[in-house]
Amino acid sequence: MTAPDPSDLSVTIVDGYVDEPAHFGVPPYVSTYPRFTAGALVDAGVPESNVTYHTIDELRDERRKRADVADADLMIYVGGMTVPGKYVGGTPAEPDEVRELAWTADGVTLLGGPVRFGVGDENAGAQEMERDDLDYDFVAMGDVEAAAFDIVESGLEGFGNRIRDYDEVSRWSSMGAFVVEQHPNHPEYLIAELETSRGCAYRCSFCTEPLYGDPDFRTAPDVVSEVDALSDHGVRHFRLGRQADILAFGGDGEAPNPDALRQLYGGIREVAPDLRTLHLDNMNPVTITDYPEASREAIEVIARHNTPGDTAAFGLESADPEVRERNNLLVSAEECLEAVRVVNEAAGWRPGESPADAPSFGDSAPRRLPKLLPGINLVHGLEGETSETFEHNRDFLDSVMDEGLMLRRVNVRQVMAFEGTEMAETGARLAREHKKEFQQYKREVRETVDRPMLERVMPTGTVLPDVYLEYHEDGTTFGRQLGTYPILVGVPGEHELGRTVDVAVVDWGYRSVTGVPYPLDLNGASMNELTAIPGIASGTAGDLVVNRPYASAAEAAEVAGADADLTRFADAGVPGVDADAEYPGAPAPRSAD
């Protein structure tokens, strides 16, 4: 039998979405997996026109597109969740759906991505993940993009499980950029996850990132070239999220290299001058405490070039010293607290004024989100956990609150146990045993930390540009900005979906805020929008409606009275809302020497 010519092959890539400790790909994010896989296929000789890409949500909503799965010579499924989460933009594939795709396909089937580590019946904590019943012809136990390249070269006969190298990634990352144009969110509501490194030198008991080996770093020009290619295909939102520690980029794997970060961030800004989002994800707090001066300089570089609302996820995992010792956790509670202080000082400023003149929060702060804040990850169900563990974690969070520091978010979750990690031996037993106590503790964190922290980070009148309106619920329109851990925003009334609006914050929930369109059109605002503004009751709102039209916000303010700061929401003039291309309000960067 003659091997098929790659130029004649039809290939369908199905994206079931990924969520890993250092990689995210649930819409509006698009992960590296489908992009690198598409590039590998093209590099192996498959024409771009023969590569079809669908998300799992597309196949749910438009059953006719499953013909692309059935008719393809090669169907590649990529997906897998190794941390639990709740999602708004997309719903990750369940095991039954993954199996059904294999049954639908008439051609050769290949499964890959973090799904190879295991998959649960639902994307939740407190469960074991081993699974071997997904019915694919081939499972890539190495990298799915390498398997895709090799299986095409072998004439669809097979491949040897292997890890791709960064010479291949330098080709595949740019060659596969075209596939983003087939994403249903393209171009307006799509953020590309970017890989700067993979693997981790540390061995926390529960984490799957060390399964990729020791850290291996891309070069700044390589990442910049990928951004250039993605930008050419219409992407305007980017996140440097695929790494265990952004501060380690370009260094020896541990110590920061501020010059390498200047080259990376400066290069991205040069090739994508009209980008709308430039965020990151993981930052190791132990790097900050081990290398305080270099870390502070590196953080200042990031805050010079990024866009507001950025989040550096800190893997504290547990403030309990016993849990830390028994699970190889890197950072103590006090060390993490010091790292929180450093990021607040170096990057917690709000664009519009210089850091020296701009208070971090309060009524007189510039009305933008801070440039970069820490986010805290806490994991429960780890070996050694007791009732005192919950108290240690609360004490840490109380210290953050008492010092007036800011956190962008607190992520509290239960562990998932994967083969290959130390947690495989312990399993999810402790998480299940402590589930009731965990739920009570999580509620307390939401009430006593999350809501007051949101009020601290996003005071009344804070302007959130480009909130993408996603869905209606109970007479309210909900949307989010694109970026790292975007806050859910509720806008009174049912507004047109699928567009972006600037929003000014008026109230806070545990994990969301309420806002009104900014600047608010006082001659067209609804009663619900008017009464959402602090100081405006229904009677005052009625007076405002009756006395329309107004020539200015000041004229309407006379009707509203002194208790309502109406001009704060109706007058435009917040610096930097319309464009961040020149990094408005950013301090002068330190010299490279």
Q: All domains of the chain, ordered by start, with CATH? A: 1-181 (3.40.50), 460-518 (2.40.50.140), 519-571 (1.10.150)
pTM for the full predicted model: 0.90
pLDDT above 90: residue 578:
no
Burial of 49 (C-beta count, 10 Å sphere; 0-12/13-18/19+): exposed
Per-residue confidence at 123, pLDDT binned at 50, 70, 90? very low
Burial of 470 (C-beta count, 10 Å sphere; 0-12/13-18/19+): middle
The confidence score (pLDDT) of residue 581 equals: 43
Alpha helices for 117-256 (secondary structure H): 144-153, 166-175, 220-232
Indicate the Cα dihedral angle 242, 246, 249, 254, nearest 10°: -120
pLDDT tens-digit readout, 347-383 = 999 987 665 566 777 667 788 999 999 999 998 888 8
Per-residue confidence at 589, pLDDT binned at 50, 70, 90? very low
Per-residue confidence at 479, pLDDT binned at 50, 70, 90? very high
How distant, in Å, are the alpha carbons of 63, 98, 556 from that of 111? 21, 9, 61
What percentage of the chain has pLDDT greater than the value 70?
85
Bigger pLDDT: 501 or 416?
501
pLDDT above 70: residue 189:
yes
The confidence score (pLDDT) of residue 372 equals: 97
pLDDT above 80: residue 179:
yes
If one counts every other C-beta atom within 10 angstroms of the C-beta of residue 553, the result is 18
Rounded to whole angstroms, the Cα distance separating 486 from 469 reads: 13
Mean pLDDT of 165-186: 97
Per-residue confidence at 133, pLDDT binned at 50, 70, 90? low
How distant, in Å, are the alpha carbons of 254, 266, 298, 590 from that of 259? 15, 10, 8, 10
Burial of 539 (C-beta count, 10 Å sphere; 0-12/13-18/19+): exposed
The confidence score (pLDDT) of residue 414 equals: 75
The confidence score (pLDDT) of residue 129 equals: 37
Residue with tokens 């079931």: 16
pLDDT above 70: residue 249:
yes
The confidence score (pLDDT) of residue 354 equals: 60
pLDDT above 50: residue 579:
no
Burial of 362 (C-beta count, 10 Å sphere; 0-12/13-18/19+): exposed
pLDDT above 50: residue 78:
yes
Yes or no: say if 296 and 355 are a contact pair by the CB < 8 Å rule: no
